[in-house]
Amino acid sequence: MAHQKTPYQWSARGFVAPGVILVAVLLYLPLLWTVFLSFTKYNGLGSPTWIGLDNYVEIFTDGDFVGSALNTVLWVIGTLIIPVGIGLAIALLTWNLGGGIWLRLPFLIPYALSGIGVGVVWSFILSSGGALDQALAAFGITDPPRWLLDAPLNTIVMIIASSWQGVGVNALLFTIGLQAIPKEPLEAARIDGAGGPRLFTSILWPMLRPLTAVVVGLSIVASLKTFDIVWGMTKGGPGTVSETLALTMYKETFVNSDYGLGSAIAVFLTVITLIASVLYLRQQLSPKKEM
Amino acid sequence: MISRRTIAAAAAGLLLGTLALAGCAGDSGSGEAGEVTGTLNFYTDKAAWKPDFESLNEVSGDAVDITLKTTGYSDANQYDAFIKQSFRTDKSPGLFTWHTGDSLKQLVDEGLVAETTDIWSQAVDEGWVSEDLRDSYTFDGKQYCVPMNIAYWIMFYNKAAFADNGVEVPTTWDELNTAAETLKEGGVTPYYQTSVLFTFQWFQHLVASTDPDLYAGLTTGDVKYTDPEIVDIMNVWLDEQKAGWFSDAGSTTDPAVGLKQGDYAMINFGTFFAGNLEGAGMTTDDYGMFAIPAVNDSLDTTPVAVESGPICTAENSKQRDLGLAYAEWWMSPDAQTAWNDAHGDVAFNPKATVSDPALAEIGEQIAGDGYSLYDRFFEAMPTEIVTTAIEQFGAFNANPGDPMPFLEKIQATADKYWAEQE
């Protein structure tokens, strides 16, 4: 038998309704519309034409799309190793250190910048004849690498530029995780003689696991949707060699006005991101794995 | 039982939600159908030109009692998406800038832009615009939109770099090549190039001035990018790349600043680039312009690429009549003289006064005998092919080599596009 709704429940629904309506209209309807568009040919004018799975067939048979996907994988790996790794190192080195916040602050400031702004600044540094080339010339290096023109070097240097922006927030998150570790096991470990690498591998790293899971999860999601910094630095070029999936999606939708193909890439990217996030977080945060 | 308080809370919630959604829809706009005077909402992706447009308000206010309220977008892709979406609302613009070629055809095919046949007929009768230009605005015998401007794609050069190396303005293809060789020997890179966006102009000139029919064939799909004639032309370009005639494609130095600094001696751009050069601090004492000689010297006329950007009125706009009234005035010599004073470029209206003597001279030269106009690559080709071609020419500029892989990628997009048209 259904529960009788209490006046409290009714009034609660009234207050929740605006939020639910907004989320449904601004989030789920566009999502469903995007899924629908992915099965159509549509240039943004008139009515979409249903073409079934053609867009999906096209993205999987297009060499450029495969290149975009490989670059995206490079971004996922790169942003796991560099900003997460350096962020952890900074958090560990400044943890329990007097004035540690002042040491972390400079790393945190770039996080306040927009990705496109970071892209523009770094393109001045890395473009041919730019700041880095001029600095290298001062040391007699007159034939430097072509940072943004050769693949996969251009993707690698853009990952480094992105890391410059992302290290600070990872350091901050790891610092919060370190500060949340209870003092007792640490003291016990120290009394038992554990220090340095042993303290890290046996105590700190396992106890940081829930936070590491979140940081890595966020990093994977952020790198899968990498767009702004690449758009700001190379526009995905030369040609298409530094495109990511998100950039290919943008290009097909808004440059080529192929809304159907762009939507198919968006759906593919969403599915991949959801699968990666759910699998990773379930594996990492399952109760059985907790300390 | 549901209390009044509960009902009131639920109603308040729904009301708030509805208001929030209504807020997203925006206001209903100003202006009524049929009005031909007043304030006209004008949208453009040329945000940097906003002061130029608005400086015309005094003149247009006196002449036709219409003033522009300009909204400028600096991101062209964002702007295009905004305009396309606006047709679905009651906020579609009374006047907006757009592109000729495939982009305009898409709007016309959907019946989204107002017909301007009467305005064109009057303008042609008055001698305000050429018959040739009308073709770019004609679909099924009717005209849509009016030209905002035209620009000829020509060569700008650094006068000091030419003088220092004893180079004269070339009038034939051989002379141009000799000039490039001389400049290179003198330690000056002859030509500018980039790997982003403006990568197509050298290809367009090489093809159109080798064989105009070949260029026309590319625009209709009758010629393939992988055809031997196109490959031969790409190899001419490759030889020039190997000779070191082009600047580093990875440089992000402002092209106008680069020409001023003498990083390269010549740059192939639209006549509007004169404004960029003046912005960089150059005057016509420092830079000159010439129509690029044809590769094939047996052609009767020298082909020159022309770009024309339209201003359009949405068919379902509340300001449709106001927009068309402004468009009609825009074609007149008075309007075009005022626009030229404000903005500076060659003029599509031969009766308008071009304020810059150098631009006036080259405009008259190209409009005279000995030259023929063809549509710029950007407008002449379908959008998807343009996108791929620009990327591949950019890749070629960055890493010049065997042209076939680049051409095959462009042709793959062209094959897909033309197959969909059948």
For A23, which residue in chain B has the nearest alpha carbon?
B17
What's the rounded Cα separation, in Å, for the pair B340 and B150? Answer: 11
Q: Is the pLDDT of residue A241 over 60?
A: yes
Residue A182 vs residue B153, higher pLDDT: B153
Residue position matching structure tokens 């990875």: B250
Is A146 within 8 Å of B250 when comparing Cβ atoms?
A: yes
> What pLDDT is recorded for position B300?
93
| pLDDT > 50? residue A69 | yes
Name the amino acid, one letter, at B14.
Answer: L
Q: ipTM score of the complex?
A: 0.84
pLDDT at A193: 79
Phi then psi for B40, rounded to 5 degrees?
-105, 125
The average pLDDT across B383-408 equals: 95
Name chain A contacts of B200, Cβ cutoff 8 Å: none
Residue B315: exposure state from Cβ atoms within 10 A (0-12, 13-18, ≥19): middle
Which of these ranges, A145-154, B8-17, B268-277, B324-333, has the smallest mean pLDDT?
A: B8-17
Q: What is the pLDDT of residues B103-116, one digit of tens each?
A: 999 999 999 999 99
pLDDT-derived band at A236, boundaries 50, 70, 90: very high
Evaluate if residue B18 carries a pLDDT over 80. no
Side-chain half-sphere exposure of B281, counting CA atoms within 13 A:
5
How many cross-chain Cβ pairs, A to B, lie less than 8 Å apart? 128
Q: Confidence class of residue B28 from pLDDT cuts 50, 70 and 90?
A: very low
> Which amino acid is present at B67?
T
Alpha helix (H) residue ranges in A62-152: 63-79, 85-94, 100-108, 115-126, 131-138
CA nearest neighbour of A40 among A259, A283, A188: A259
Mean pLDDT, residues A29-57 taken together: 94
Q: Cβ–Cβ of A13/B383 closer than 8 Å?
A: no
Q: Give me the sign of the Cα torsion angle B82, B88, B91, B94.
A: positive
Compare B207 and B102 and report the one with higher pLDDT: B207
The residue of chain A with its CA nearest to that of B11 is A14
User: Is A198's pLDDT higher than 70?
Assistant: yes
The answer to whether residue B1 scores a pLDDT higher than 90 is no
Supply the DSSP symbol for B268: E
Position B197 scores a pLDDT of 87
What is the C-alpha to C-alpha distance for residues B376 and B371, in angstroms, rounded to an integer? Answer: 15
pLDDT digits (tens, 9 = 90+) for B187-212: 999 999 999 889 999 999 999 999 99
Cross-strand partners of B312? B96
Residues 6+ apart with CB under 8 A from A45: B84, B87, B106, B107, B109, B110, B112
**Per-residue confidence at B3, pLDDT binned at 50, 70, 90?**
low
Residue B25, pLDDT score: 41
pLDDT in tens, B144-194: 999 999 999 999 999 999 999 999 999 999 999 999 999 999 999 999 999
**Taking 90 as the threshold, does the pLDDT of residue A134 lie above it?**
yes
Q: Do B5 and A7 touch (CB under 8 A)?
A: yes
Nearest CA in chain B to A58: B416
Residue A291 has what pLDDT? 43
Q: What is the band of A97 on the pLDDT scale with cuts at 50, 70, 90?
A: confident
B7 Cβ partners below 8 Å, 6+ apart?
Answer: none
Average pLDDT, chain A: 88
Select from A16, A41, A123 the Cβ nearest to the Cβ of B252: A123
Chain B environment of A17 (Cβ under 8 Å): 10, 13-14, 17
Distance CA A56, CA A76 (A): 23
Report the residue of A241, A255, A259 to disrupt the B interface, i.e. the one with the largest count of B CBs within 10 Å. A255
Can you tell me the distance from the alpha carbon of A265 to that of A250, in angstroms, rounded to the nearest whole number?
9
Residue B11 has pLDDT above 60, yes or no: no
**DSSP 3-state assignment of B294?**
coil
Cβ burial, residue B118 (10 Å; 0-12/13-18/19+): exposed
Count of alpha carbons within 13 angstroms of residue A271, beta-carbon side: 9
Nearest-angstrom CA–CA distance, B372 and A6: 82
- pLDDT at residue B58 in the model: 93
Residue, of A152 and A196, whose pLDDT is higher: A152
Which pLDDT tens digit goes with each residue over B228-272? 999 999 999 999 999 999 999 999 899 999 999 999 999 999 999
Q: At a CB cut-off of 8 Å and minimum separation 6, what does B164 contact?
A: B186, B188
pLDDT at A202: 85
Choose between B208 and A185: higher pLDDT.
B208
Contact A237 B196 (CB under 8 A): yes
Quote the percentage of chain B above a pLDDT of 70: 92
In chain B, the percentage of residues whose pLDDT exceeds 90 is 81
What H or E segment, with its residue span, contains residue A158?
helix A153-179
Sign of the dihedral defined by the CA atoms of residues B249, B251, B254, B255, in that order: negative
Cβ distance B286 to B128 under 8 Å? no
Higher pLDDT, A71 or A186: A71
* Mean pLDDT across B371-378: 93
**DSSP secondary structure letters along B179-195:** HHHHHHHTT-EEE---S
Residue B89 has what pLDDT? Answer: 85
* Contact residues for B286 (Cβ-Cβ < 8 A; gap 6+): B158, B159, B160, B260, B277
> Is residue B29 scored above 60 in pLDDT?
no
Q: Which of B4, B6, B381 is best to mutate for the A interface (most A CBs within 10 A)?
A: B6
**Interface with A, mutate which of B195, B198, B199, B253 (most A CBs under 10 A):** B195
Distance between terminal CA atoms of chain A? 42
CA distance B139 to B120: 13
Residue B12 has pLDDT above 70, yes or no: no
Cα-Cα-Cα-Cα dihedral sign, residues B199, B201, B204, B205: negative
Task: State the smallest CA–CA distance between residue B154 and chain A in angstroms.
Answer: 25
What integer is the mean pLDDT of A17-22? 94
